[in-house]
Amino acid sequence: MLRRLRSKSLTYQVVAFISLFILLITVVQISVTHFLMSGVMRANASNTVSLLVNENINRIEGKLSRIQLLARNIRYSVQAGLITGEQFQLMVAAALRENPDISSLCMAYEPSIQNQPRAQVYFVRNTELVVNILNPEEYPYEDWYQIPIMSGEQRWSEPWYDRAGSQTLISSYSIPIISNGRYIGILRLDTQLSKLQQMISTDSRQQIGKMLLLTNNGTFVSSQIDSLVMNYGIFSLAEEYNDEELRKIGQDMIYGRSGVQKLGGKHMFEDYWITYAPLKSNGWSLAVLMSERTIFRDLNLLTLIQGIASAIAFLLLAVILLLRIRHINKPLSALTAAVERVGSGDFDTVIPHSSDFYELQMLTNSFETMRDSLSDYIENLRKTTEEKNRIMTEVLFASTIQRNLIPRNVSTNQFHDCLRIHGILEPAGDIGGDLYDYFAIDDNTFCFAIADVVGKGIVAAMTMTMVSTHIRAKGASFQTPQELAADLNNFLCSNNIESNFVTIILGFIDLKSGRLSYTNAGHVPLFIRKANNQYQKLAETHSTALGVFPNLKIGGSSLQLDPTDEIILVTDGITESMSSSENFFGIERLEETIAKLQNPNPETTAKAILSAARKFSNPDKQYDDITILVIEFSHPKH
């Protein structure tokens, strides 16, 4: 799992990061190019379309104006009375033969004019001129006749089917004939709609767009969408797709305006650009529809090719990167495996030198150095740890011995039932430099001691052990505690290697009389608690601490104990207990504690003092051993 994750991290991340970055750059570059180019393409397309529209308009206009010119010439001849009867027929035949754009020609007079026949249409069939007479019940109501005769203007008609003439869809140019200031008839020249459609459809084959020819009514005369031609107009299309915008464009077109606009709507011309302009002669409109897709077809193709090429390059790059990183990764994997073995403690593992890469070689060397250093270090550590463990065992052993030197607390009275005693010793470390001890020197004399070796650790403990052993051994040899203390001082001075000095209170109690004699060598004052909750503080010291000056003269004091008096002894571990605000517990607080004691016995007294000191002090700051010894003189020996 770990191996997999790491291999994924390195190979995958490098490949992914580089690929992603290049992808980003490529996408940005292609997008910017596309954006800039699309503007250019649109402008170019717009120009091309405008040219196309104008070119087609000019071509159609050329054809229409030739017809118009011919019509005016014929009318002139007719009005001027230059030609009549057969001459007219000959002129018509010549005009039709010479102008293939003109499919038929018609002369129609007002029904009220007494001219026979009133209306005739001429067209060429199989090189023969055919003349048909029009029905006087019908022609006066036909658009080609009625509109120009009423308006007195020359007009191009909407496309219509000429059954009497060429029998095709035609558009007619009608021009009124004037005689004596009256419109007496219409001269009509027809052109086949297919001729106009062909002119458009030739250009429609170009890929530029769809060309539409719209009549004055907005009907599609020519469109690349066959289903629209003559069926639909721009307005019906707009209505079918509910496209108000298209209707507005249609109105623009039939009112002879030109413009360029993008189409919305949900019809077949959605997203098309429409460019339209009017045909001045007949008021029709020519439009080119170009889809955005067509405008941008080449650009989109280019972008696609660019995209595909980039994608291929991109894939190749990723593969090459992957292979290369795997190649680099191979020795790294071997190195990793070796380092893992070293990590698990196999310092004999050979670090493989299998790579040609400088960095990897350096790494391998570093790992070798690390492996060797680690090996040495761990060997040293092992030895040191062994040594430490041995010492610790010995210290613990010493601590046990030391603890065993201290008398055990018993709840009953001892020493001929005269005394109740309770002691507490709590070393700050494994072994301590404090001591309390008590024992019977003889049947009548009880000896007690509380001491504090200045200093800590093994030396202090050893010194303490020496003190304890010396008191026990020599206690019986002296009549007074001061003599014992002087002897102890001399012993310490001669045997104390580190010159550790000892503060001590040594005391003898005559069990029969209740007489207490004691000596205080530089130790914390002792207290005698009396039965009525009074207490005595005995602060006098009889000498300096022991073990400093040899042959010291040591004094002593004595006093009479009353039954139930308690002798309270503590070390400076109590008085120098430190609070969080770095204040000492002090003698005063000790006195307060003693003063507050209720129904005491040695055990409660000792525990009350310990608890008061504990409550006061910060438990993290117990640097010194704490020792309390309380001896109650219950009653004299009987």
The residues binding another protein (CB under 8 A) are 135, 138, 141-143, 146-147, 150-151, 155, 157-164, 169, 216-219, 230-236, 239-240, 247, 250-251, 254
Nearer to another protein, 217 or 400 (CB): 217
State how far the Cα of 517 lies from the Cα of 604, in Å rounded to an integer: 25
State how far the Cα of 129 lies from the Cα of 113, in Å rounded to an integer: 26
Distance in Å, CB of 202 to another protein, minimum: 25
State how far the Cα of 401 lies from the Cα of 387, in Å rounded to an integer: 21
Nearer to another protein, 227 or 495 (CB): 227
Distance in Å, CB of 193 to another protein, minimum: 10
State how far the Cα of 128 lies from the Cα of 123, in Å rounded to an integer: 8
The single-letter DSSP state of residue 105 is E
State how far the Cα of 627 lies from the Cα of 610, in Å rounded to an integer: 9
C-alpha pair distances (Å), 285 with each of 60, 227, 230, 494? 11, 19, 15, 136
Nearer to another protein, 4 or 163 (CB): 163
Distance in Å, CB of 155 to another protein, minimum: 7
Distance in Å, CB of 244 to another protein, minimum: 10
State how far the Cα of 289 lies from the Cα of 582, in Å rounded to an integer: 97
State how far the Cα of 558 lies from the Cα of 520, in Å rounded to an integer: 11
C-alpha pair distances (Å), 447 with each of 226, 370, 548, 573? 135, 64, 24, 23
Distance in Å, CB of 174 to another protein, minimum: 12
Distance in Å, CB of 295 to another protein, minimum: 28
User: Could you tell me which residues come within 8 angstroms of residue 461 by beta carbon, excluding any fewer than 6 positions away?
Assistant: 398, 399, 402, 431, 432, 433, 453
Q: What angle do CA 395, 396, 398 make, to 5 degrees?
A: 60
Distance in Å, CB of 290 to another protein, minimum: 23
Nearer to another protein, 144 or 296 (CB): 144
Distance in Å, CB of 104 to another protein, minimum: 14
Q: How far is C-alpha 113 from the chain's CA centre?
A: 95
DSSP 396-459: HHHHHHHHHHSPPP-SS-BTTTTEEEEEEEE-SSSS-SEEEEEEESSSSEEEEEEEEESS-HHH
Nearer to another protein, 278 or 423 (CB): 278
Inter-residue contact 67 to 102 (CB < 8 Å): yes
Inter-residue contact 191 to 67 (CB < 8 Å): yes
Distance in Å, CB of 242 to another protein, minimum: 9
Distance in Å, CB of 308 to another protein, minimum: 43
Taking the alpha carbons at both ends of the chain, their separation in whole angstroms is: 85
Greatest pairwise CA separation for the chain in angstroms: 187
The single-letter DSSP state of residue 227 is G
Distance in Å, CB of 195 to another protein, minimum: 16
Matching residue, tokens 């030609």: 83
Nearer to another protein, 141 or 358 (CB): 141
Residue 473: Cβ within 10 Å count: 10
Q: 180: left (phi > 0), else alpha (psi -120 to 50), else beta?
A: left
Nearer to another protein, 35 or 141 (CB): 141
C-alpha pair distances (Å), 463 with each of 131, 439, 459, 516, 554? 157, 20, 6, 27, 20
Nearer to another protein, 145 or 448 (CB): 145
Nearer to another protein, 157 or 519 (CB): 157
C-alpha pair distances (Å), 243 with each of 224, 268, 272? 21, 12, 14
Nearer to another protein, 138 or 271 (CB): 138
Nearer to another protein, 105 or 254 (CB): 254
Distance in Å, CB of 119 to another protein, minimum: 14
Nearer to another protein, 87 or 231 (CB): 231
